[in-house]
């Protein structure tokens, strides 16, 4: 069997990357080999995943087969990296290893996987519904043809941005961590509606629809955040009263600092 893509780790993000490739017949299931580290993950993929890919335990005797794939997706948790060891294999050209591990630098990857051209990709949870944002940083040995092919892996499930590696930490903070911040804001606004007498379910439904409508308006009309704010906030009105309280509580500063905190945490993994 000649495998084309190896996947090390198969959580939600890895599934979101691989599934569109199978749906669009870019890859056939038999061309994919996947390694997982738990019995639960193994059984889940075998029973519930709609495509019959080749799947093995990380400690299986067949696990080494993954290293003979020309392209590998490294999709484990950063703390699990110490358990992954590149095997010796005889190939004239270097294979490709795409890492989606938060904060693990190209230099670190190249030291661990010297037989590979390494690529760093940072993506976010909306990739699971085909609306992901992915930032990619290359090493210096990857030609344009292969860059286009690797970008296509992610373009099937969202937008792709080519960036210097120096910007991946802030990209991660702004796109990968911030969805949780948005969820917290939605929850808090919903609690505001709850405080005013609405049910929690209705409050959160209204907030989600309001955010969706607001973002759609900004994109459709090419309206900046400050322009939209000025459209809504009238003199001595309800909106400016709400904004004044947020400014007094340091809301804007807290959001900025939260993004910087996420960025700095990402840098700690290097």
Six token digits for residue 174: 């702004």
Residue 91 near residue 100 (C-beta atoms within 8 A) = no
Residue 96, beta-bridge partner list:
71, 117
- Widest CA span in the chain: 74
Give the domain ranges of the chain: 5-163, 171-268
Topology annotation, domain 5-163? Rossmann fold (3.40.50)
Residue 55, beta-bridge partner list:
34
Measuring CA to CA, which residue among 232, 189, 192, 243 is closest to residue 211? Answer: 189
pLDDT digits (tens, 9 = 90+) for 214-258: 999 999 999 999 999 999 999 999 999 999 999 999 999 999 999
Burial of 121 (0-12, 13-18, 19+ CB in 10 A): buried
pLDDT digits (tens, 9 = 90+) for 134-149: 999 998 788 898 899 8
Given the structure tokens 């590149």, which residue do they identify? 86
pTM of the shown model: 0.88
pLDDT at 260 over 70: yes
Measuring CA to CA, which residue among 22, 21, 159, 176 is closest to residue 100? Answer: 176
pLDDT digits (tens, 9 = 90+) for 30-80: 999 999 988 888 898 889 999 999 999 888 888 888 888 899 999 998 888
CA–CA–CA angle 7, 13, 17 (5° rounding) = 65
- Domain boundaries 171-268, corresponding CATH code: 1.10.3730.10
The answer to whether the Cα torsion of 202, 183, 23, 12 is positive or negative is: negative
Measured CA to CA, the distance from residue 105 to residue 99 in angstroms comes to 9
pLDDT at 86 over 90: no
Cβ-Cβ contacts under 8 Å for 202 (sequence gap 6 or more): 193
């Amino acid at each position: 069997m000649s495998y084309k893509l190896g996947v090390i780790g198969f959580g939600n993000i890895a599934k979101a990357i691989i599934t569109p490739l199978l749906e669009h017949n870019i890859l056939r299931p038999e061309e994919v080999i996947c390694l997982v580290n738990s019995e639960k993950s193994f059984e889940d993929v075998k029973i519930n995943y709609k495509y019959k890919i080749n799947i093995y335990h990380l400690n299986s005797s067949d696990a080494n087969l993954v290293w003979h794939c020309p392209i590998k997706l490294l999709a484990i948790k950063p703390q699990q990296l110490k358990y992954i060891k590149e095997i010796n294999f005889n190939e004239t050209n270097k294979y490709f290893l795409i890492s989606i591990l938060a904060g693990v630098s190209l230099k670190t990857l190249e030291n661990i996987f010297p037989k590979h051209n390494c690529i760093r990709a940072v993506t976010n949870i909306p990739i699971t519904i085909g609306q992901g944002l992915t930032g990619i940083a290359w090493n210096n040995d990857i030609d344009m043809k292969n860059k286009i092919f690797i970008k296509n892996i992610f373009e099937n499930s969202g937008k792709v941005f080519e960036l210097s590696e120096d910007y991946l930490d802030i990209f991660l903070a702004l796109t990968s961590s911030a969805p949780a911040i948005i969820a917290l804001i939605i929850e808090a606004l919903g609690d505001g509606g709850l405080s005013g007498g609405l049910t929690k379910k209705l409050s959160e439904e209204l907030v989600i629809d309001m955010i969706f409508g607001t973002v759609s308006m900004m994109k459709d009309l090419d309206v900046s955040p400050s322009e939209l704010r000025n459209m809504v906030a009238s003199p001595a009105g309800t909106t400016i009263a709400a904004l004044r309280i947020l400014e007094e509580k340091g809301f804007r500063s807290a959001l900025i600092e939260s993004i910087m905190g996420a960025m700095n945490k990402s840098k700690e993994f290097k």
